Structure 1
Amino acid sequence: MTAAAAGPPDHVRAGFGVSSSSAEPLRARIEETGSTEATAEHPRTWKLGDLVLQRVDDSGRAAWLASGIEQVQTTGVRLARPVRSSDGRWVLSGWSASRFVAGTPAARPHDIIIAGEAFHRGVAGLAEPRVLRARLDPVGWADRLAWGELSPAERSLHPIDQGEVARRIGDLEAGRTDVSLPSQLIHAELRRGVLFAGDALPAVVDIEPFWRPSVWASAIVVVDSIVSDGAPTEVLGLGERYGQWRELVRRALLFRLALAVCGPTPEPAALVPLLVAVDRLGPALG
């Protein structure tokens, strides 16, 4: 068994005060993480006793997020609260820790959106950090493509060679209009980051942080529900009460298209339902 497959190294476990000798990979939470590390053989998220240890891609971003989440109070959702190491650090040798919260993801787009709204209300007061500006990791690159913020040089970092994908991205970009909604910290992966457990409040975990309008996170949920869960296009109506909703759905489609072909783990199998979703939703976007 490799070190990665055995879970966090001993000094990381000791640093976070883990007494449990057994490490359980949380497979339900490593789906679609967008990381080459997140496979069944090399999971990045492990349960040890009442803690969850997770490898992080950016220590600065993870530390800022943990310090912010430590301060917030939410109603309507449970949070996986971050835990410091014994010497006060949020990240130790590329690992972060949080309290374990029970639950599993579920294809419940309306409930996911409601949980996301509760989370976003709780974190709305956090100030924008520098670590979320101008991200150029693949996930950040896909976000900035969706929002039309890439320079020509930055765009060339991840050429989109697939003809059908490039055409649809071009069509979506051509119809893009300005968004005037305020930005804040959002969780861009609510479909896999909201857990349900019986009658308990939904839990929010594994935050993928961006500084965007909170409604965009709901738009991503709708796109994911159609693409990955086979939801009917009528699910688009879940966000009609929001301002500029359909423009945000457009940007959610752009985000998923870019990430599917340019992310850390390109997902060719995900392209077919995604392209179908673009074709089905396109006429409704104007």
Structure 2
Amino acid sequence: MVGTKPSVMPTPAVFAAFGAAGTPERMAGGRGLTWRSGQIVVRPIEDPEEAAWKSQVLAVIDSSEGFTVPRPIRDDRGNWVHDGWQATEWIPGVADETRVGDIVGAGEAFHRAIAGLPRPSFIAASNDPWSQADRIAWGEATLPADELLELLVAECRLVNAPSQVIHGDLLGNVLFAEGRPPAVIDWAPYWRPPGLGAAIAVVDAACWHGHSLDALADNHGIPQWRQLLLRALVFRMTTLHLFGYWDDAQADRHKPVAAAIATLTE
């Protein structure tokens, strides 16, 4: 998948503004950009509007037995962002990409909790490779020249499920801990049918974590599952193209998953 990059440590003033105490340490997740100090996690933001919007939602979201979230933390001036950084409470737990059913369940519970949100303007304005790949997967932008992508897109049909804000990167962003509902972290917002979040998680698991190709047929109770899987795989493959990571090895990794999805019935 897309690689990580080194992160500059937040200044002591940033940690202090969020009330963090303790020796900072870089966390393993978050693409290498996230730092923990005591009970507070700090990470850089790319879009202040998106960061503030997500923080406001997560501060009041009604979690359930199906999921929880780390609550965002305001700085000493009452803002969600401080000098390009945001903070949340630290929640203990470990990601487990093999627990696909549990991840899908947590994601579906999260999507139910945010189903009534209006579409935020930053989704349409975003132009990073992930956003571009999302639009391509839904026929809203030009497909890269690739025979496998063209074959997948040729199988795409109308998905008539309504769109809402979703989490488009669930698989490695659900943390498990004994005695607590799964914690959904690192929200990647898109405006798509909620089943797409589950489809992306399942495709990621099949491509990168040994999830059985036969298990792709399990639709988790989600309508138009094959169509969502097709778009999920186009999205992930296109992202690799746009980052310049697509090569023969990537093609070999994704072809079996594409073939398995193609054989599913509608």
* Normalised TM-score (structure 2): 0.90
1:55 counterpart (34, 38, 44): 44
CA distance in 2, matches of 1:260, 1:277: 15
Counterpart of 2:107 in structure 1: which amino acid?
A: G
Counterpart of 1:112 in structure 2: which amino acid?
A: I
Q: Give the number of aligned pairs.
A: 258
**Residue 156 of structure 2 aligns to a residue in which SS?**
coil
Does residue 282 of structure 1 match 2:265? no
C-alpha change, 1:91 and 1:270, in structure 2 (3 Å) is farther
Does residue 214 of structure 1 match 2:182? no
CA distance in 1, matches of 2:183, 2:227: 28
Larger mean CA deviation between 65-74 and 271-280 belongs to 271-280
Counterpart of 2:133 in structure 1: which amino acid?
A: A
> Which residue is equivalent to 2:100?
109
> Which residue is equivalent to 1:74?
63
C-alpha change, 1:240 and 1:99, in structure 2 (3 Å) is closer
> Which residue is equivalent to 1:97?
87
Gap runs ≥5 in structure 2: 1-5
Contact 2:42-2:87 at 8 Å conserved across structures: yes
Does residue 201 of structure 1 match 2:191? no
> Which residue is equivalent to 2:25?
24
> Which residue is equivalent to 1:256?
236
- Following superposition, the deviation at residue 103 of structure 1 comes to 0.9
> Which residue is equivalent to 1:242?
222
- Following superposition, the deviation at residue 141 of structure 1 comes to 0.5
**Residue 243 of structure 1 aligns to a residue in which SS?**
coil
- Following superposition, the deviation at residue 242 of structure 1 comes to 1.7
> Which residue is equivalent to 2:137?
146
Counterpart of 1:209 in structure 2: which amino acid?
A: P
Q: Could you report, residue by residue, the CA deviation over 1:109-137 in whole angstroms, capped at 9, with x for unpaired residues?
A: 00000111111111112221111125321
CA distance in 2, matches of 1:219, 1:95: 31
- Following superposition, the deviation at residue 267 of structure 1 comes to 6.1
CA distance in 2, matches of 1:260, 1:243: 27
> Which residue is equivalent to 1:8?
10
Larger mean CA deviation between 141-150 and 271-280 belongs to 271-280
* Normalised TM-score (structure 1): 0.84
Contact 1:74-1:121 at 8 Å conserved across structures: no
CA distance in 1, matches of 2:152, 2:75: 45
Across the aligned residues of Structure 1 and Structure 2, the Cα RMSD in angstroms comes to 1.9
Counterpart of 1:49 in structure 2: which amino acid?
A: G
Q: Could you report, residue by residue, the CA deviation over 1:95-119 in whole angstroms, capped at 9, with x for unpaired residues?
A: 1111111111111100000111111
Q: Kindly report which structure 2 residues correspond to 1:216-235, keeping only aligned pairs within 5 A, or say none.
A: 216-235=196-215
> Which residue is equivalent to 2:3?
none
Contact 1:105-1:196 at 8 Å conserved across structures: yes
1:121 counterpart (106, 109, 112): 112
Q: Could you report, residue by residue, the CA deviation over 1:61-114 in whole angstroms, capped at 9, with x for unpaired residues?
A: 111111111121010212011111111221222211111111111111000001
Counterpart of 1:24 in structure 2: which amino acid?
A: E
- Following superposition, the deviation at residue 276 of structure 1 comes to 2.6
Counterpart of 1:9 in structure 2: which amino acid?
A: T
- Following superposition, the deviation at residue 272 of structure 1 comes to 2.9
> Which residue is equivalent to 1:266?
245
Gap runs ≥5 in structure 1: 31-37
- Following superposition, the deviation at residue 240 of structure 1 comes to 5.5
> Which residue is equivalent to 1:44?
33
CA distance in 2, matches of 1:207, 1:49: 22
- Following superposition, the deviation at residue 6 of structure 1 comes to 6.0
- Following superposition, the deviation at residue 143 of structure 1 comes to 0.7
CA distance in 1, matches of 2:251, 2:88: 33
Q: Kindly report which structure 2 residues correspond to 1:135-214, keeping only aligned pairs within 5 A, or say none.
A: 135-150=126-141, 160=144, 166-214=146-194
Contact 1:250-1:285 at 8 Å conserved across structures: no
Percent sequence identity is: 34
1:87 counterpart (77, 81, 86): 77
CA distance in 1, matches of 2:209, 2:160: 30
